[in-house]
Structure 1
Amino acid sequence: MDCNILIERVVARIRSTGARKLSYAGRLTLVNSVLNTLHNYWGSIFLIPKAVVRRIEAICRSYFWDGGSEYQRAPLIAWDRVCCRKEEGGLGVIKAENWNITSVGKLVNWLYTNADRLWVQWVHHIYLKDQDWHNYVPPADSNWNWRNICKVKGLISSGYVNNHWIHDPKGYNIKSGYGLLQGGHPSVGWYKDVWDAWCVPKHSIICWLIKQEALNTREKLFRLQISDSNQYSIDPRCMGLSLLQQRVCRMTLAAFWYCVWIERNAWRMDNCLKCPQRVVQEIRRLVYARIRVKTAGAVKMQDRIWLQKLDLIV
């Protein structure tokens, strides 16, 4: 009950009209920069009850997929996958429970390193009493918060050798502890194509969903006999293009898939569909505007000629 105020604050942030109207990319930014930071202060002092942490994660998950605090349908992609790093095929969303554990891990590290802090001296006097911290087991009747700190020690102890944190030469930090709990996953080959800095973020999210086969766009085109294959593979790096040309290809492809997704939704919801020429014009406008922003006029002659042939630069 004492921690329910955290849930109320998270819900209050997403009830505004502006928050509900954000795109996937906007909602992702809000989840990472606002919703997942509201509990950081409390989470650095003690383990927040699991029911509260999981409720916060459920609200973040519902808001990202649907823009509200409640989501009745199954999400397009499992939340554990969303919480993986972008290089590993996820979106890099912070998993609140693991972040809470590694934040409390700083207290555990103080005891491993015998830091010069009053709290460490108090713990040695009251609880440890010359016992080895690595093998210490708390009494059953000890303080609730102290038992949780010892529980965190058990979760991150594999990262210590001879009382030294081995995952970062500078010593323990929340980032390396979080990486230990999250574990490693194989990198995906399409990471750079989807998350290229030139791509519009909301376009990249749609491409990410397509790569996860959550939108099934290729399969639908194949079933409608619009495409002769349900497989898609275009890698600009294999086409002998310069770096700028590769990025323009990635950006154009991302804009294309985004516009296809928009038109598909318009047809399903409103029975309204633009003619192909207007869709092409919209893609060209998006790409042209992005090139203007990213190049600021500084383009090599070879690339300028290439862009002029595509009518993408003045």
Structure 2
Amino acid sequence: MALEVGDHVGCAKEKKNVNQSYSKEEEIVLMCLEGPTRAPLVSLDDNLVSYVGLTTLNIALLGGKSAFYSCNMDAQVKEEVIKISKYKEESLPFTYLGVKIDSKKLSKDDCSFLIDKIAARIKSWGVIEGVISACRNFLWGGKVASHKTPLVAWDLICRKKREGGLGLKESHAWNLALLGKYVWSIASKADNLWVKWINHIYLKDKDWKSYSPTSAASWYWKQLCQVKDRFRSGYNGNKWVFQHKGYTTSSGYKWLRGEGQEVDWAGWVWNNLNIPKHSFLCWLVMWRRVQTKDRLKKMQIQTDELCPLKMLEDQIGINVSIADLTQLSTWLQKPCNGRFRRRVIQCTYAALIYNIWKQRNAAVWRKCIASHQSTVERVTKEIYWRIVSVMPKKKVASGLENDAIKVTKTKGG
């Protein structure tokens, strides 16, 4: 936008730019006048009206909530501007968005408030923590915002499935692994403009492994140097030792997380013939995290420890008393007549555990108990159609449905 300033004495008529900085709460209009100190400002009123029309400002608010600041300005011209604009006059310096506005050059200390404010806001955002919180809440409550208490620690959830976790990525370690790519680029002296710039500005041919940033270095560079120190033991000189082909994000993540102890029940819990919700419940069962009454009593949430499944045993004909889950897990992984048959047996037991849990909840909350026959039929259909969907070629194979029925009947007595 331009303001028509008028005819200056001894100067040609010209337009001067108005530099504008916007925020939701306030705006700055900077008017720069050149030439003699005395100049008619007849057109200033019209230009202010035009400016209001082009912005979201209300002309009625201009005089009441706006201020006028001047520097080396002729007194008569200043009075004319105040009269036309109806602004109140104030003196420099003042603050805008936390930064001091003055006629003098701003020093580093003058901008420190803004730097601290931005840094505090970034920390308060907690991007990674926000992502973890959203994922955790969705896992246990089905919503991004949930107040349900997690049944399993997040660090364990982010372990591999064979180590007892769910195989999710741990965001902090994954973020560090991604930043590790920059560390590797510098260490391997990658032929790109960024590495050349880093060497010219910061490293200056110094040894990268032993390098320490100066106090005057940028915040981002200091953070990258901290990531470098985190990966220090993974390097032999400037070579990544965890993978002979060089650093990758995947190898960096595995190095950061390390290798955990494997569990012996992961094979049948995560059998691909299992229905996913069956696998998830069996995973909770193997970690003893299902909210049974005996656990609730230990947490002093209730006093009754009698599990309603005990009352169901006689009526649905299924013996749900599993004294040793480790023994069950070992039995399910024993070899039998064919690998496929063993997987069918495993998914049948997973379906039984899930349906027994459903019966328990039905007994507690709805006071109803399904019959033995309906439970067997439901488990049989679930297994059959799961196998058909995962392995369509097995649909014509004889004995699938009969195998499931035999397993459920054996379990049911």
Q: TM-score range by the shorter chain?
A: 0.7 to 0.9
Q: Is the 8 A contact 2:351 2:383 kept in 1?
A: yes
Q: Which amino acid aligns with 2:279?
A: S
Q: Is residue 161 of structure 2 the alignment partner of residue 82 of structure 1?
A: no
Where 2:350 maps in the other structure, the secondary structure is helix
The structure with the greater share of residues assigned to strand is: 2
Deviation, 1:131, is 0.9
Q: Is residue 216 of structure 2 the alignment partner of residue 145 of structure 1?
A: no
- Over 3 Å counting, the alpha-carbon distance change for 1:239 and 1:100 in structure 2 is closer
Q: Which amino acid aligns with 1:99?
A: W
Q: Distance in 1 between matches of 2:225 and 2:215?
A: 12
Q: Is residue 384 of structure 2 the alignment partner of residue 288 of structure 1?
A: yes
Q: Is residue 140 of structure 2 the alignment partner of residue 65 of structure 1?
A: yes
- Decide which moves more: 113-122 or 177-186: 177-186
> Normalising by the residue count of structure 1, what TM-score does the alignment of the two structures yield?
0.76
1:254 to 350, 365, 376: 350
Q: Distance in 2 between matches of 1:283 and 1:229?
A: 19
- Over 3 Å counting, the alpha-carbon distance change for 1:168 and 1:291 in structure 2 is same
Q: Which amino acid aligns with 1:277?
A: Q
Q: Which has the higher contact order (CA 8 A, sep 6+)?
A: 1
Q: Is residue 190 of structure 2 the alignment partner of residue 115 of structure 1?
A: yes
Q: Counterpart of 1:180?
A: 255
TM alignment of 1:287-306, pairs within 5 A:
287-298=383-394, 304-305=398-399
- Over 3 Å counting, the alpha-carbon distance change for 1:126 and 1:167 in structure 2 is same
Deviation, 1:134, is 0.1
TM alignment of 1:264-279, pairs within 5 A:
264-279=360-375
Q: Distance in 2 between matches of 1:249 and 1:125?
A: 65
1:224 to 307, 310, 319: 310
Q: Which amino acid aligns with 1:289?
A: W
Q: How far does the alpha carbon of each residue in 1:204-251 deviate from its partner, in whole angstroms, 9 at most, with x for none?
A: 111111111111669776983855552233324435331011000111
Where 2:334 maps in the other structure, the secondary structure is helix
1:169 to 244, 253, 256: 244
Q: Counterpart of 1:244?
A: 340
Q: How far does the alpha carbon of each residue in 1:148-177 deviate from its partner, in whole angstroms, 9 at most, with x for none?
A: 111110111211112111111221111111
Q: Is the 8 A contact 1:203 1:255 kept in 2?
A: yes
Query: What is the aligned-residue identity percentage?
Result: 32
Q: Which runs of 5+ in 2 are unaligned?
A: 1-121, 295-305, 314-319, 407-413
Q: Which amino acid aligns with 1:140?
A: S
Q: Distance in 2 between matches of 1:178 and 1:135?
A: 23
- Over 3 Å counting, the alpha-carbon distance change for 1:204 and 1:80 in structure 2 is same
2:359 to 263, 276, 279: 263
Q: Which amino acid aligns with 1:211?
A: M
Where 2:274 maps in the other structure, the secondary structure is coil
Q: Is residue 203 of structure 2 the alignment partner of residue 128 of structure 1?
A: yes
Larger Rg: 2
Where 1:259 maps in the other structure, the secondary structure is helix
Q: Counterpart of 1:209?
A: 284
Q: Is the 8 A contact 2:141 2:148 kept in 1?
A: no
> Normalising by the residue count of structure 2, what TM-score does the alignment of the two structures yield?
0.58
Q: Is the 8 A contact 1:210 1:217 kept in 2?
A: no
Deviation, 1:261, is 2.1
- Over 3 Å counting, the alpha-carbon distance change for 1:173 and 1:57 in structure 2 is same
Q: Distance in 2 between matches of 1:160 and 1:183?
A: 16
- Over 3 Å counting, the alpha-carbon distance change for 1:297 and 1:123 in structure 2 is closer
- Over 3 Å counting, the alpha-carbon distance change for 1:241 and 1:307 in structure 2 is farther
TM alignment of 1:28-47, pairs within 5 A:
none
1:100 to 165, 175, 179: 175
- Over 3 Å counting, the alpha-carbon distance change for 1:251 and 1:108 in structure 2 is same
Q: Counterpart of 2:266?
A: 191
Q: Distance in 1 between matches of 2:279 and 2:400?
A: 24
Q: Counterpart of 1:4?
A: none
Deviation, 1:275, is 2.2
Q: Is the 8 A contact 1:84 1:93 kept in 2?
A: yes
Deviation, 1:202, is 1.5
- Over 3 Å counting, the alpha-carbon distance change for 1:89 and 1:129 in structure 2 is same
Q: Distance in 2 between matches of 1:189 and 1:218?
A: 27
- Decide which moves more: 234-243 or 119-128: 234-243
Q: Which amino acid aligns with 1:230?
A: A
Q: Counterpart of 1:154?
A: 229
Q: Which amino acid aligns with 2:368?
A: C
Q: Counterpart of 2:40?
A: none
Q: Which amino acid aligns with 2:365?
A: M
Q: Which amino acid aligns with 1:57?
A: I
Q: Counterpart of 1:41?
A: none
Q: Distance in 1 between matches of 2:399 and 2:377?
A: 21
- Decide which moves more: 96-105 or 70-79: 70-79
Q: Distance in 1 between matches of 2:143 and 2:373?
A: 35
Deviation, 1:63, is 1.1
Q: Which amino acid aligns with 2:246?
A: G
The structure with the greater share of residues assigned to helix is: 1
Q: Which runs of 5+ in 1 are unaligned?
A: 1-47
Provide the aligned C-alpha RMSD in A.
2.6
